[in-house]
Amino acid sequence: MSGFRAPRGTFDVHPEASVMRTRLYKTTSRAFERAAYGRIETPAFEDTELFARGVGGSTDIVRKEMFTFSDQGGRSLTLRPEGTAPICRAYLEHGMHKLAQPVKLWYWGPFFRHERPQAGRFRQFHQIGAEAIGSDSPLVDAEVIGLLHDLLHGLPIPDLTLRLGSLGSVEGRAAYRSELQDYLREHQADVAREVRERIDENPLRAFDAKDEGTREVMAKAPTMLERLDGEDAKHFAEVRALLDRAGIHYELDGRLVRGLDYYTRTVFSFETDRLGAQSEVAGGGRYDGLMELLGGPPTPAVGFACGVERVLMALGEHGAESPPVNAFVAAPDGQRDRALGLVLELRRAGVAADLDLADRSMKGQMKQADRSGARVAVILDEDGSAQVRDMETGEQRPIQAAELIDALT
C-alpha cells in the first residue's frame, strides 16, 4: 500500500469487471454497425467556451461541475462533461455537411463531471452515445429511439421505462416560457432559492428540482407538451405514430426536462428501478439549434447517451463473471514447454486457453483449472501422452495430441 488512492468519484476497472465492459462494447459496436453508424472519437478536453456556449451557462454542468484548467499558453480547457457539443464541433470543423445527410456517428469514452459521488454517479464515467446530424425528419427521432430501445432491451436490462416528451422548437417555446415564468413568479415563495434565481434565465430547470416545495409547485405547472402547436405538434405526433407502429412502448411525460440547454422538440429517457436514486440509464433528444449556437449553419440533429456504469449496475451479478477459459493445460515439470506450445496453438485456433505460470504441483494446477472456470483440463503426462478431463463431470479419457485441437474447437 502506497497511501495513494484513486481520486474521489473515480474507479479502477479490474479484470473481472473488464470482461463485462468488453462484452458490452462488442454488443454495442455490432448494433451500431448494423444500423450504419460510424465510430467517432474526439479529444478528452476541449476549449471551455465550447461547453459554456453549447451546454448552456445556466446548467448545473457549466455552473459547477466542469473540470476546467489553463494550459501553459493560458488557454482555458475543460475535460469534456458530455459528447454532443464536441461532435458538433467536429462536424463543423471537418465540413461533414458535404456528406450524405444525416451523418450518423457513435462513440464510447470517458466523461468528467464534478458531481457529488454516490452509487451510479461518478466524476469520471463512460458513455455510449450516438448522434444523427443533418435531418429534422421524425423518422430520425424514431430510428434513434428504436436503436437505443433495442440495445438496452437486448442486453437485457430489466424493468425499463421509456419516458417521452417534447420541448417544442425555440420559437414555439417562447410563449410557453413566459407563461411558466409568470407561474413561477406567482409561486416564488414556495420554490427553492436556486429555482428562483433561474426564473429569468432557465425556468424549465424547475421541473428537475429535488426539493419538496418546488416539486409540489411544479406538479401543477403548465407543461410545454400541453402547449405544443403547429409544426412542433405535427412533428411530435409523427414521432409517436412511428414508435407506436414499431411496437415501442413509452410513457408521455410533459415534465421531462434534461440537464442540458440545447434540447428542442423530442426528449426522452430510459429508466429502470434497479438503480435506486440514479434511475436514468440513458437519455437524449433533438438539438436543432446547437450548430448555430456554435457558429455553424442551421443543422437539425438528434442523439442520445447511455451511462456504461449504470448499464453494468442494472445488469447486476453478471458483472462478476470471470473470463471464460475453455481449456486449462496442466503439465508436470519437464513438460511445461509442451504445455506452453499447446496453449499458444489452441489460442491460435480460437480456443481460450491458459496454463500454470507459478510452478504449482499437479494437484495445485488442477485446483487452478477448477478456479479458472475451464470447461476441460488437458493433462500432459511425463511420457508425452495426454488426457482430457471434463471439469464438470470429472470424466477423463486419453487423447492423441493430433486430435486435441479438433476436440476442443
CB 51 within 8 A of CB 61: yes
Report in angstroms how near the CB of residue 300 gets to ligand HAM at its nearest.
Answer: 12
Judged by CB under 6 A, which stretch of 170-178, 222-230, 278-286, 339-347 contacts ligand HAM? 278-286
Judged by CB under 6 A, which stretch of 155-163, 306-314, 369-377, 387-395 contacts ligand HAM? 306-314
Judged by CB under 6 A, which stretch of 46-54, 119-127, 153-161, 182-190 contacts ligand HAM? 119-127
Binding-site member from 23, 97, 114, 121 for ligand HAM (CB under 6 A): 121
Report in angstroms how near the CB of residue 370 gets to ligand HAM at its nearest.
Answer: 36
Binding-site member from 104, 205, 235, 310 for ligand HAM (CB under 6 A): 310
Task: Pick the closer one to ligand HAM by CB: 103 or 346.
Answer: 103
Q: To the nearest 10°, the Cα dihedral for 139, 141, 146, 148?
A: 150
Total of residues contacting ligand HAM (CB under 6 A) = 29
Helix, strand, coil fractions of the chain, as percent rounded to 5: 40, 20, 35
By the rule CB under 6 A, 356 interacts with ligand HAM:
no
Task: Pick the closer one to ligand HAM by CB: 36 or 402.
Answer: 36
From the list 221, 289, 288, 294, the residue with the least C-alpha distance to 255 is 221
Buried b (16+ CB within 10 A) or exposed e, 295-332: eeeebbbbbbbbbbbbbbbbbeeebeeeeebbbbbbbe
Report in angstroms how near the CB of residue 312 gets to ligand HAM at its nearest.
Answer: 11
Report in angstroms how near the CB of residue 338 gets to ligand HAM at its nearest.
Answer: 48
Judged by CB under 6 A, which stretch of 12-20, 35-43, 257-265, 357-365 contacts ligand HAM? 257-265
Task: Pick the closer one to ligand HAM by CB: 208 or 238.
Answer: 208
Judged by CB under 6 A, which stretch of 78-86, 215-223, 384-392, 397-405 contacts ligand HAM? 78-86
Report in angstroms how near the CB of residue 313 gets to ligand HAM at its nearest.
Answer: 9
Binding-site member from 29, 42, 45, 115 for ligand HAM (CB under 6 A): 115
Cα–Cα distance for residue pair 261/362, rounded to 1 Å: 63
**What is the CB neighbour count within 10 angstroms for residue 336?**
16
Report in angstroms how near the CB of residue 245 gets to ligand HAM at its nearest.
Answer: 24
Scanning residues 126 to 165, which ones bind ligand HAM (CB under 6 A)?
A: 127, 129, 131
Cα–Cα distance for residue pair 99/308, rounded to 1 Å: 30
Sign of CA dihedral 56, 61, 63, 69: negative
Sign of CA dihedral 63, 65, 66, 69: positive
Binding-site member from 143, 309, 354, 356 for ligand HAM (CB under 6 A): 309
Q: What is the 3-state secondary structure (H, E, C) of 282-305?
A: EEEEECCCHHHHCCCCCCCEEEEE
CB 46 within 8 A of CB 78: yes
* Strand partners of residue 76: 70
From the list 357, 362, 356, 399, the residue with the least C-alpha distance to 374 is 356
By the rule CB under 6 A, 355 interacts with ligand HAM:
no
Reading the block at residue 375, the C-alpha cell is 470447461
Judged by CB under 6 A, which stretch of 36-44, 67-75, 210-218, 305-313 contacts ligand HAM? 305-313
Binding-site member from 66, 164, 282, 391 for ligand HAM (CB under 6 A): 282
Reading the block at residue 321, the C-alpha cell is 463473471
Reading the block at residue 162, the C-alpha cell is 421509456
* Strand partners of residue 376: 327, 390
Report in angstroms how near the CB of residue 278 gets to ligand HAM at its nearest.
Answer: 7
Report in angstroms how near the CB of residue 43 gets to ligand HAM at its nearest.
Answer: 16
Do the strands 124-133 and 103-112 form a parallel or antiparallel pair, or are they unpaired?
antiparallel
Report in angstroms how near the CB of residue 305 gets to ligand HAM at its nearest.
Answer: 4
Can you say how many angstroms the Cα of residue 336 is from the centroid of all Cα atoms in its chain? 43
Report in angstroms how near the CB of residue 238 gets to ligand HAM at its nearest.
Answer: 19
**What is the CB neighbour count within 10 angstroms for residue 212?**
10
Binding-site member from 53, 80, 104, 113 for ligand HAM (CB under 6 A): 113
Task: Pick the closer one to ligand HAM by CB: 152 or 184.
Answer: 152
Which stretches of the chain bind ligand HAM, using CB under 6 A?
82-84, 113, 115, 120-122, 125, 127, 129, 131, 258-260, 280-285, 287, 303-307, 309-310
